[in-house]
Amino acid sequence: MRVPEYGWTTQKVFHFLNFLVNGVRALVFVFRRSVQNLHPEIVQHILLDMPSLALFTTYALLILFWAEIYYQARAVSTDRLRPSFFTTNAVVYTIQIAMWLILWWKYIPLLVILSKMFFAGLSLFAALGFLQYGGSL
């Protein structure tokens, strides 16, 4: 996650994403009534779910950072960690966007529940990453 010409390190990107996620969540909280009155309803779901997706990316980046430190300390190659990070995020965003498109096409209440369960699974996945790499440093 290094952008050398701008001095962006993994830590700076993490803090920027964390600031962005919390800022968007604060705005959604402040304008909650307006968000709930938006039509079509899919816009509500996107505004409420997007910060959760960005939060997953933020904490997956933190797990990537810890995993890189962990593997470097054990003299193990870290070549596959970044592609795994990007692939995981691409799969997560693709699944969620597909669910949003289906909900836009035809509102299915069960799919809304599945979407919320998907976010719960993402949170569990991130927690397991925290346990594996954050606890072993």
Q: What is the pLDDT of residues 47-64, one digit of tens each?
A: 889 989 999 999 999 999
Q: What is the pLDDT of residues 79-104, one digit of tens each?
A: 999 999 999 999 999 999 999 999 99
Domain contains 1: no
Query: How many domains, in total, are found in the chain?
Result: 1
* Residue 25 in tokens: 């969540």
The predicted pLDDT at position 6 comes to 65
Answer yes or no: is 3 within a domain. Answer: no
Identify whether 15 is part of a domain.
yes
Q: What is the pLDDT of residue 82?
A: 92
Task: List C-alpha distances in Å: 116 to 5, 60, 100.
Answer: 39, 19, 12
- The count of other CB atoms within 10 Å of the CB of residue 37 is 9
State whether residue 104 is helix, strand or coil.
Answer: helix
pLDDT confidence band for 137 (50 / 70 / 90): low
Domain that holds residue 30: 10-135
